[in-house]
Amino acid sequence: MAKLSLSDLHDIREREGKKLKMRDIHGRTVHVVVAMGTSGIEKGAKFTLNAIADEVEKKGLEDVIITQTGSAAPAPEPVVEVFIPGKGLTVYGSVDAEKAKRIVDEHLAGGKPVEDLRIDLEGGV
Partner 1 sequence: MHTVADFILEAAENSSEAGSSSICVKARLEDGIWDVEVADDGEWTLEEGKCSTKGAGRGRALKLLAQRAESWHLEKGNGTVLSFRMADDGSLDDLYPALLPLFLRDGDVEVSLGYGNRSVAVSTSMLKKMNAFPEGASGIRGFRSLLEGIIRR
Residue ranges that bind partner 1, judged by CB under 8 A: 26, 28, 34, 36-39, 41-42, 46, 49-50, 53-54, 56-68, 70-71, 73
**Could you tell me if 82 and 92 are in contact, meaning their C-beta atoms sit under 8 angstroms apart?**
yes
Return all residues near 17 (Cβ < 8 A) that are at least 6 apart: none
**Which CB atom, from 31 or from 99, has the smaller least distance to partner 1?**
31
**Which CB atom, from 52 or from 119, has the smaller least distance to partner 1?**
52
**Which CB atom, from 13 or from 67, has the smaller least distance to partner 1?**
67
**Which CB atom, from 67 or from 87, has the smaller least distance to partner 1?**
67
- What is the closest distance, in whole angstroms, from the C-beta atom of residue 123 to partner 1 in the complex? 18
- What is the closest distance, in whole angstroms, from the C-beta atom of residue 42 to partner 1 in the complex? 7
8-state DSSP, 5: P
- What is the closest distance, in whole angstroms, from the C-beta atom of residue 76 to partner 1 in the complex? 15
- What is the closest distance, in whole angstroms, from the C-beta atom of residue 46 to partner 1 in the complex? 6
Rounded Cα distance, 33 and 45, in Å:
11
CA distances from 108 to 51, 59, 65 (A): 14, 10, 11
Q: Which helix (H) or strand (E) holds 41?
A: helix 38-42
